[in-house]
Amino acid sequence: MASSRSISIIFFIYTIILSSSSINCKGNNNNLVTNQTALFVFGDSLFDAGNNNYIDTTFRSNFWPYGQTTFKFPTGRISDGRLIPDFIAENAWLPLIPPNLQPSNSNNQFTYGVSFASAGAGSLVETFPGTVINLGTQLNSFMNVERMLRSELGNAEVKKIFSRAVYLFHIGGNDLFYPFSANSSLFQSNSIEKFVDFVIGNTTSVIKQVYKMGGRKFGFLNVGAYDCAPGASILDRTNIGSCFKPVTELVDLHNKKFADALSRLQRELSGFRYALHDYHTSLLERINNPSIYGFKEGKKGCCGSGPLRGINTCGNRMGQSFELCENVTDYLFFDSTHLTEKAHRQIAELIWNGPPNVTGPYNLKALFEFN
């Protein structure tokens, strides 16, 4: 207890230093608060900047060598360094977006945005129940932030912040994987089609709620090719290194239905604008052709053990030993399922600037520029 408190205090001080230095290096931003377009982040480990440090869970990576690049400190981000939202924030001239659960002494630390993302989270309450902050609970936290901001800044200001803000989501992958790691009666008693509809139905209800609260600009990543990550590609022992087929089918179905659901939302909700990045394609491209993108390894993790370092022992998780690569910039994957900072930077660039066949109908830069 005492030691976890001191860790969070150190973490807190550290991020203050980091965010103020990031403001300083951008210069001239003393009145960021009043005019900046905020960034609110929802999702899973791809985006979790440390929320899971504050809940009772084993889905946590706040220990070395996580954070070895850039932060030189294990912030809870499941990577060697920065995540996609960190690069998006940088492009948008925002400071690092703080995790919702991070303690703070500043009243309006959330006016640039907040991250609600939680490693392991899905849209379904049935996905890793009790050990993650699922998407519905993330929405509830956003409603709490709304109440807090209203009492500090007034309704009109909050309305302005929310309608200008960008809401970034990556969710669904854990829902599709969960039935292969535990018994899921929801999965077992429904068709694949129906199960995927539940995932997307729960995601779209949250999107609609955020829209109701004033959100107009949304960024989405479809579910990445995690069926081909080191962790998944060792599941079939007879075919090590190949994508894990049972999940491939679910991911493909999900991504097709998700794109359809978003274009339906755009027709239904007036003023709803979105960017959908085809993360599945951009990740798979890098797994299959690493050298084109400056990586030496697309299929093997930098940190972990066993074949392809696909066993998730990175950082001595559960007391098991692990290997750590010498040069992380050679690798697409940092651990069995999570990317390196270098990979995150590339994907963030595609989300920010991508042409419409990569990120569309808008890219994130365009969404930030709308008033």
- Active-site positions read 45, 335, 338
Least CB distance from residue 122 to ligand NAG, whole Å? 10
Which secondary structure element, helix H or strand E, spans residue 220, and what is its range?
Answer: strand 217-221
Q: Exposed, middle or buried, 237 (CB in 10 Å: 0-12/13-18/19+)? A: exposed
Considering only the stretches 162-170, 196-204, 243-251, 301-309, report the one whose residues sit in contact with ligand NAG under the rule CB under 6 A.
Answer: 196-204
Least CB distance from residue 103 to ligand NAG, whole Å? 30
Binding residue for ligand NAG, selected from 92, 101, 114, 124, defined by CB under 6 A = 124
330 binds ligand NAG (CB under 6 A): yes
Residue 83 tokens read as 């995540």
- Within residues 268-297, the interface with ligand NAG by CB under 6 A covers 281
Binding residue for ligand NAG, selected from 16, 18, 125, 284, defined by CB under 6 A = 125
Residues in contact with ligand NAG, shown as a per-residue x/- string from 156 to 195 under the rule CB under 6 A: --------------------------xx--x---------
> What is the number of other CB atoms lying within 10 angstroms of the CB of residue 293?
15
205 binds ligand NAG (CB under 6 A): yes
355 binds ligand NAG (CB under 6 A): yes
> What is the number of other CB atoms lying within 10 angstroms of the CB of residue 291?
9
Least CB distance from residue 126 to ligand NAG, whole Å? 5
Considering only the stretches 105-113, 221-229, 336-344, 353-361, report the one whose residues sit in contact with ligand NAG under the rule CB under 6 A.
Answer: 353-361
Q: Is 361 helix (H, G, I), strand (E, B) or coil?
A: strand
Least CB distance from residue 200 to ligand NAG, whole Å? 7
Question: Do the Cβ atoms of 72 and 147 come closer than 8 Å?
Answer: no
Residue 262 tokens read as 């978003």
Binding residue for ligand NAG, selected from 35, 188, 270, 321, defined by CB under 6 A = 35
What end-to-end distance do the CA atoms of the chain give, in Å?
Answer: 46
327 binds ligand NAG (CB under 6 A): yes
Q: Among residues 201 and 241, whose Cβ is nearest to ligand NAG?
A: 201
Residue 183 tokens read as 């018994």
Q: Among residues 61 and 202, whose Cβ is nearest to ligand NAG?
A: 202
Question: Do the Cβ atoms of 98 and 110 come closer than 8 Å?
Answer: yes
With tokens 């940092």, the residue in question is 334
Least CB distance from residue 1 to ligand NAG, whole Å? 31
> In degrees rounded to 5, what are phi and psi of residue 42?
-125, 145
Q: What is the DSSP string of 152-199?
A: HH-HHHHHHHHHH-EEEEE-SHHHHHGGGTS--HHHHTS-HHHHHHHH
Using CB under 6 A as the criterion, which residues of the chain lie in contact with ligand NAG when the complex forms? Answer: 31, 34-35, 124-126, 182-183, 186, 198, 201-202, 205, 281, 327, 329-330, 355, 357-358
